[in-house]
Structure formats: structure tokens, C-alpha cells
Amino acid sequence: MEKQISNFIRALRSADVQVSTGEALDAARTVAMIGYDDRGLMKDSLACVLAKSESEKQIHDRLFELYFSSAPAGSAAQSAGAGSESEPGEDPEDAAERLSQLTQQGNEQALATAIERAAEQAGLNDIRFSTQVAYFAQSMVRAMGGEQLQARLLEALQGRTPDADAEAQRLIDVRRTLTMTARERAERAFQIFGAAETEKFRDDVAATKRLSAIEASDMARMKQLVAKVAKRLAVKHSRRRKRTQRGLLDVRRTMRANAGVDGIPFNVIWRQKKKDRPKIIVICDVSGSVALYVRFLLLLLFSMKEAIPDLHAFAFSYRLKSVDDILETMEFDAAIKKILREIGLGSTSYGQAFSDFKMDHENKIDRRTTIIILGDGRSNYGDPRLDLFRDFAGRAKRVIWLNPEGRALWGTGDSVIPRYEPFCAQMSHVATLKDLEKAIDEVLTAYS
Amino acid sequence: MAKDKQTGYEPMTSIEAITAGLDTVGYISVSQISTAVFLAHGLRKPILIEGPAGVGKTDLAASLSKWLNLPLIRLQCYEGLDEGKALYEWKYGKQLLYTQILKEKLNELLGGAETLKDSLSKLSGFEDLFFSPQFLEARPLLHAMQQDRGSVLLIDEIDKSDEAFEAFLLEVLSDYQVTVPEIGTIRAKVPPLVILTSNNVRELGDALKRRCLHLHIGFPDHEREQRIVRARVDGISDTLLNQLVRFVQSVRETDIKKRPSIAETVDWARTLLLLHASTLDEAFVRDTLNVLLKHESDIAAVSPALGKMVREATGPDGRGRLASGYPDMG
């Protein structure tokens, strides 16, 4: 049983549930305490010990169902296992006979046991990718004595008598049943040990893919991924709002704290520096090529409300408009569509957008504000209104410009990026989700 | 796991015993909850309970203490909670007072000393007198350690405390001991049964989570909620109970800001009982909806469909449909 538990814990770890050695020991003690007769009880108990959040509990429950669906094999393997092993020198006749016995009706338990043993011999628990399922199924059949069966089958096929034909047919059926059972078992092992790994691999690929090249079919995955990134950033940045300044006495609070002890400063309280809460204004160019990036940036930022309580979003192509209302009231995908439809028309003009911003929203900028601008800086040869931009940059904490265009293209054609660059604390090229994460991480780090 | 005879944890022999025991004090448990309590006792680990407000997280601790007849020691967390308030403090006033009273005695004792050095060395012999356990003001954590028969220690809303405090809790929770520099390490006579609750205001640290068993208490299903309300509200008729719980369950399925929890159901049941309602009707529900829903916008969101929801809750087939989870086709 210990082996079962440790394998189960390995499955959990591969599905991104952090299980420490201490917890593994606790799990073993738990099972020792409650026994493993009652499956439901065991599931609840292990969930209690091993999972540490609601989402981890869900993963745990899913894996538990998969993993312990073959639970009886654990105890049966020792008792019934001895006879079902393939011995190297075994006569093909015997092996074929033994295997066909296994596939008979009523021998399910023995078959399951044999499969379980074969799985162990084939190292099935190391399965990582779905493409390995067939390979492992083959290895399992071989471990059960598939080769002898094959030899016997060939022999029968060469017989060319009605009896031999019937025998061959029977052996083919046996082989098919064995292969199918082994395949099912391998599938399940993949679900337990490999699926999470594959997912992780796909996520890694998606995170480093150019956002503009993301296909519609990958959108769901990207959304989950963005949620993950958002959570990671939020956890990182929603903590530690204060920092003690050593050496600067907070006289008022010290006196208050020590009033009970005659004002003798037993407990000295140092002044704390309150960190600013992040305040972010995003200005997005929603024309053509940039629109896809806008989608991900907004999705990311709006998934992080807990870390960025003060967030305003504006979109423009020609005229600039606040999109907070749309994003807050509507479902995200519908909101983005609506924004693109309403604002995404007309030729881009950064100058016009900035003057709109100055007219209506200038008072939203203060020394705590970070302005994030997402755009390619292609302004159709209009006036870039550098004077306004300089003014914003002077009043805000920082201005960050995220540009989906590669650095080599900056300044070519109607791009006015190099002229804005001196006023930005940072101007970076974002192509992938990783880049976005890095950029937002840097923005928030400036507040901590 | 051998335990001393005197501990108060003896009734917790099995999961069924815990469920039955909690039942006697009016806490309707489910197997997950009882299992967590059983494991907490067996593995000597704290339980970290998460879940929406008002589903009985705090109440579990209170009920356990009532059932086991052990003191419930509660530590309410808040931002700025520090060791002094959670663990121990020196009784400065008492120390001062005793010094004043013992002044003459001290003078007498020190009178013989000729030089400053002599009196200092004499004095240092008494110093520990004023930093001894009798001048130690035990705050909840230390207090819980000092109980002879064990205790139920409830650390409520741990997510509201600072991270520094969370880190400080680790020593207490993993070894059940605290260190007072002047006295030494104080080890718990009998480890308390520790229950931490969290509303997820902030994500707790991994170190703390790792030391705890995790239990999520969600909204109860129809049957359990009925049993809870019956246990909490005396004299409620079966018809009203059934209809009311059905209504609350359907409200929870709507898209609102703050879904009503058990505490609200119980309050509402009491309200209806006070108004002598024998069955649900739309006017009654509309008038008392503010007991159940705490946000103006939620009331507004539910209001339009109120008539239909009440009809469904009072209808004969409502229960079967809700229980089997069929989508509502109107």
C-alpha cells in the first residue's frame, strides 16, 4: 500500500500539486490510521492532508478517481500474481493457453492482476506523452508473454486445416482482448502521470508563441494561461504593503504603545513607509495589428484586480474613449468585441488620442500613476503631440510603452516611436505572453 | 496514539463518534468535516478551514469545545496583531506595584550592603523574581498551551493578520511550544486542537498551509441545510422549513454578489417564524428579503424573478427538480 500511496503522490506532483515529504509521511500515517477499506473516507482524508486549496482538491479528487479505480489490484497482485508471470523458458503452448484462460469470461480479476503486473514490468508509471500509449501497451503485452502467443499463432496459421484456422481465430481474439486491455490501462496511466505534463508542455509552448499568431482554437488555453499568470503576479504583488524604516522613531505611536508602562519606551515603534498602491492607466491603440495584443493585455490586467485596485483603461484609434464600463459590465470576450467594433475604426492618430486624454482625463494622472501605452506608434504622419506626452510623463510616476512591433521596425515609415522614447521610463517589444508578464511584473515592482 | 488519561479528547475515537458528538451540540457535520477533525486529532495538526462567510467555520470550533467540554480559546486576527497580544506580555503594572510594596523589604535586604557594587550583586539575585511566571500575562496562544486537559484554539480569520504574524505562528503550530526569553521554552501540556479559519482576503503562505490540514466548507446541500435550520430554530414547521430551504438554495444559484449562507438562512427562518408565516408567499418574501440578501443590488437582481422562485419553492415537484439538478426551463 505504501507503494500505491507514494505513486499517487508522484502523480499529484506531476499535476502541479506541491506535496512535501512531510505531507507524504502524513498521508502514509493517515492511511495507517483510517485503513483503506472505505474508499470515500480515504479520498476525503487524503484530500484533507494533501491538497491545500480548492483547485488542488479538485485535481486530487480527479486523480484519486483515476488512480484508485484499480485499487483492488494492490492487494490482489500479491496473492494471485504468482501464476500469471511469463517465464522466459515457458512453452509457447502453455503461454498461449494461460493467456487465453485470462481473457475468458469470469477471469476479469486475474486479468486485471496480470495487467497490473505487466504495467509494473513495463515501467508504465514513467509515461509522459500520449504518443507513448501504444508503445507501453505493446511492452505490457510482451511482458505478459505476447511473444509466445504470437509464435503459437503463427504456427496455427500455417496449419491450413479447419481446426488450425479456428485455433488461429481464437488466438487472434485473445491477442486483441489483451492489447485492448493493456491499451486502456496505458491510457489511464497517461491520464494520471502524463496528462498534466503534456499540458504543462503545451502551456510553455503557448506562453512563448507570438500573441498575434495564436489561433482561435488555442484561445481557451491562452485564457487559462493568462489567468495563471495573473494569479502569479497578483500573489507576488498584493503582499507587503509596508516596510519598516529602521532608525526612524515613530514618536506618536511609541508613546501611545507605552502609555501603560509609564511612558517608558519598552516597545519602540519605528516609522513605517507605506508603499503606494499601484495605480495604472492603460492607453491602448486598438487599430488592426495591435488589437490582438490589446486583448491579452486587458485580460491580464483585469484579471489582477486584487493587485491593482486602481485601474483605468482607455482605447483609441482616432478618438480616445474610456472602456472601464464596458469591461466591467460585460463578459470579457463580448466586451473586447464591442470595443473593437466601436473604437477600432478610423485611422490611428496618437496626437488626437493624447489631446482627448488631456481634455477629459488628465486629472486621473498623479504621482502614483503608471501609464502603460500599448501601440505601434504609427500615427499616419499626424502631429504626435510630443508636448502633451512630455507633460503626462512629467506628472506620472512612470510611462511604459509596450510595442508589439520588432525593434528593427521602429522609426520606419510613419512610426514615431523614437520621438516618444525619451519620455518613457521603459519602452519594450512585447511579442509573447512571457513578455507581457515581464513588463507588468516590472511595473508593479516599481511600487514595492 | 497513546494519550494520557486526563486529556479531554477521549470521545474522539472514530469519525462516526465525532459526527454523533457534534450532533448532540447542534452542529450538523458531514463526513469531510468529521474526517478532518479526526485527522487533526490523530496527526496533531491544525485544521485550516476555508469557505464563504457564515457557513459554520467558527461554529465548528465552538461546537467542538462544547461537545468535548474543553475551553474554547479564541484569537481574532486583524492587521497589526502582534506577539504581545497573541502570546504573552509582562504584567508591568503588577511588577511596578510589587516593587513599590516590597520597597521597604528591599531596603532592608539591601541595607547591609556597603558599596554600590555589593547592592547590585545582591539585587541581581532577586531580579528573576519579577520576571517569573506569576508576572506573565498569558494571551490566547500561551493560554491554550497551559490547559491541563487540552483546549480548542480558534485562530479566526488568519488571512487578516500580517505576514510577520503568520510566520510567527509557525513555531506555535508545529511544535506546540512557545519561547519566553526570560523563562525558557514553554511546552504545551496537552497539544490544543487548533482550528484556523480564512476568508481568503489574501493568499496564505505556503509554509503555513503545509503545516495544516485543509478543509473547505461550502454551502450545504438541501438536506443538510434543513437539518441545520431545524437544529437552530425551534418550532419551525416542516412545510415552511422545506420551502424556505428550497428558496434559499435557488437564490444561491442566481448570479449575485453575496450569496446567502447558513447564518442568513437561520436568521431568515427566525424572522419568518416571528411573523407567524406558515408557508412562503411572495409578499412575505419580498418584505423580508433584506434579511437574506445584504446588498441592494442583489435584492434588485433577484426581485424580478421572485414570484417564479417562490412558486417553484412551494410547488410540489420543486424539490425533486432542484435535487436532481435539472436546468430550470421556466
Which is more confident, B291 or B320?
A: B291
Helix (H) / strand (E) element for B186: namely strand B184-187
> What residues of chain B lie within 8 A of the CB of A260, using their CB?
92-93
DSSP codes, B146-178: T-SS--EEEEETGGGS-HHHHHHHHHHHHHSEE
Q: Assess whether pLDDT exceeds 70 at residue A243.
A: no
Q: Which residue has the higher pLDDT, A57 or B6?
A: A57
The region that residue B312 occupies, defined by phi over 0 for left and psi between -120 and 50 for alpha, beta otherwise, is alpha
pLDDT band, very low/low/confident/very high, at A241 (cuts 50, 70, 90):
low
ipTM of the complex: 0.78
Q: Please list every residue in chain B whose beta carbon sits closer than 8 Å to the beta carbon of residue A20.
A: 210
The residue type of A228 is K
Residue B63: band (very low, low, confident or very high) from pLDDT cuts 50, 70, 90: very high
Mind telling me how many Å the CA of B120 is from chain A's nearest CA?
Answer: 22
Please work out, in degrees rounded to the nearest 5, the angle formed at the alpha carbon of residue B71 by the alpha carbons of B65 and B77.
Answer: 90
Considering only CB atoms, A48 lies closest to which of B202, B203, B213, namely: B213
B176 Cα to chain A: minimum distance (Å): 17
Pick among A19, A44, A269 to test the B interface (most B CBs inside 10 A): A44
Q: What's the pLDDT score for residue B318? A: 45
Q: Which pLDDT value is given to residue A291?
A: 77
Cβ atoms of A105 and A97 within 8 Å: the answer is: no
Instruction: Give the model confidence (pLDDT) of B228-278 as tens digits.
Output: 998 888 888 888 888 889 889 988 888 887 889 998 999 999 998 888 888
- Taking residues B140-164, report their average pLDDT: 88
Nearest residue of B to residue A44, measured between CA atoms: B32
| Cell numbers placing B86 | 497573541
* Helix, strand counts (H, E) of chain A: 20, 8
pLDDT band at B71 (very low <50, low <70, confident <90, very high): very high
Q: Which of B142, B13, B4, B139 is nearest to B68 (CA)?
A: B13
Asked if residue A171 lies in contact with residue A156, where contact means CB atoms within 8 angstroms, the answer is: yes
Whether the predicted pLDDT of B62 surpasses 80: yes
The answer to whether the CB of A103 falls within 8 A of the CB of A144 is no
Average pLDDT over residues A8-18: 83
Higher pLDDT, A148 or B140: B140
Q: Percentage of chain B surpassing pLDDT 70?
A: 92
What's residue B14's pLDDT? Answer: 87
CA of B140, closest CA in chain A: separation in Å? 20
Residue B329 in this model has a pLDDT that exceeds 60:
no
Which of A33, A41, A54 has its CB closest to that of B42?
A33
Per-residue pLDDT at B325 exceeds 80: no
For residue A406, give how far its alpha carbon lies from the nearest alpha carbon of chain B (Å). 37
Residue B153: the pLDDT is: 93
Q: A277-303 pLDDT, tens per residue? A: 788 899 988 877 677 788 888 888 887
Contacts of A82 (CB under 8 A, 6+ apart): none
* B214/A48 Cβ within 8 A: yes
Once rounded to an integer, what is the mean pLDDT over residues A213-236?
78
Classify the phi-psi angles of B176: left when phi > 0, otherwise alpha if psi is within -120 to 50, otherwise beta: left
- B43 in contact with A, Cβ within 8 Å: yes
Q: Per residue in A32-52, pLDDT tens?
A: 888 878 888 888 899 988 988
Is B110's pLDDT higher than 80?
A: no
The whole-angstrom distance between B311's CA and the closest CA on chain A is 30
Are residues B45 and A26, on separate chains, in Cβ contact within 8 Å? Answer: yes
Query: Chain A partners of B216 at a C-beta cutoff of 8 Å?
Result: 54, 57
Contacts of A57 in chain B (CB under 8 A): 214, 216
pLDDT digits (tens, 9 = 90+) for A75-97: 434 433 334 444 455 566 677 77
CB nearest B210 (choices: A20, A48, A262): A20
Report the range of poorest mean pLDDT among A98-102, A370-374, B180-184: A98-102
Nearest to A44 among B35, B92, B203 (CB): B35
B282 three-class SS: helix
CA dist B282 and B264 (Å) reads 18
Cβ distance of B214 and A51 shorter than 8 Å: yes
Q: What is the pLDDT of residue A177?
A: 85
Residues of A in contact with B214 (CB under 8 A): 47-48, 51-53, 56-57
| B164 close contact with A: CB closer than 8 A | no
User: What residues in B contact A43, CB-CB < 8 Å?
Assistant: none
Q: How confident is the model at residue B195 (pLDDT cuts 50, 70, 90)?
A: very high
- pLDDT value at residue A325: 86
pLDDT in tens, A326-341: 888 888 888 888 888 8
d(CA A167, CA A96): 11
Residues of chain B contacting residue A262, judged by C-beta atoms under 8 Å apart: 96
Q: Which of A22, A56, A238 sits opposite B202 (nearest CB)?
A: A238
Do B35 and A33 count as a contact with CB atoms less than 8 A apart?
no
pLDDT at residue A171, rounded to an integer? 84
Alpha-carbon distances, residue B118 vs A40, B108, B113, B163 (angstroms):
73, 14, 5, 47
A53: closest chain B residue by CA: B214
- pLDDT of residue B127 exceeding 70, the answer is no
- Sort out which chain A residues have CB atoms less than 8 A from B80's CB and list them: none
Rounded to whole angstroms, the Cα distance separating B148 from B150 reads: 6
**For A323-348, b where at least 16 C-beta lie within 10 A, e where not — what string?**
beebbeeeeeeebbeebbeebbeeeb
Are residues A44 and B43, on separate chains, in Cβ contact within 8 Å?
no
pLDDT at site B48? 93
pLDDT of residue B38: 92
- Please, which residues 238-297 of chain B have a Cβ atom closer than 8 Å to chain A? none
Nearest-CA distance from A199 to chain B in Å? 24
Contact A53/B214, CB-based, under 8 Å? Answer: yes
Residues in chain B within 8 Å Cβ distance of A228: none
Segment A377-414, tens digit of pLDDT: 888 888 888 899 999 999 998 899 988 888 888 888 88
Q: Which of B92, B163, B216 comes nearest A240 by C-beta? A: B163
Nearest residue on chain A to B159, judged by CA atoms? A239
Q: Which helix H or strand E contains A373, and what residues bound it?
A: strand A369-374
pTM summary value: 0.70
A236-250, B76-90, B142-156: least confidently modelled range: A236-250
Residue in the block written with cell 475515537: B13
Q: Which of A45, A46, A266 to mutate to test the interface with B (most CBs of B within 10 A)?
A: A45
Determine the pLDDT at residue B6.
Answer: 65
- CB–CB contact A51 B84 (8 Å): no
Contact B96 A262 (CB under 8 A): yes
pLDDT band of B321, cuts 50, 70, 90: very low
pLDDT given at position B239: 86
Strand partners of residue B74 = B154
Q: What does the block give as the cell for B201?
A: 482576503
- Among candidates A48, A235, A238 on the partner chain, residue whose Cβ is nearest the Cβ of B35: A48
The reply to whether CATH 3.40.50.300 applies to domain B15-84+147-216 is: yes
Domains of chain A and any CATH numbers: 2-204 (no CATH), 242-274 (no CATH), 279-445 (3.40.50.410)
The predicted-structure confidence for B21-44, as pLDDT tens digits, reads as follows 999 998 999 888 999 999 999 888
Which DSSP string do the residues of B299-314 spell out, in sequence order? HHHHGGGHHHHHHHHH
Question: Closest to A54 (Cβ–Cβ): which among B84, B203, B216?
Answer: B216
> Strands A320-322, A398-403: parallel, antiparallel or unpaired by DSSP?
unpaired
Candidate from A84-98, A105-119, A425-439, B186-200 with smallest mean pLDDT: A84-98
Which of B 47-66 lie inside 8 A of A, CB atoms?
A: 50
How large is the average pLDDT for residues B88-105? 83
Instruction: Identify which of B35, B38, B43 has the shortest CB distance to residue A29.
Output: B43
Counting one residue from chain A and one from chain B, the pairs whose CB atoms sit within 8 A come to 66
CB contact under 8 A, B50 and A54: yes
Tell me if B39 and A45 make a contact (CB, 8 A cut-off). Answer: yes
Nearest to A22 among B203, B210, B215 (CB): B210
Q: Of all residues in chain B, what percent are helix, strand and coil, respectively (each to 5)?
A: 55, 10, 35
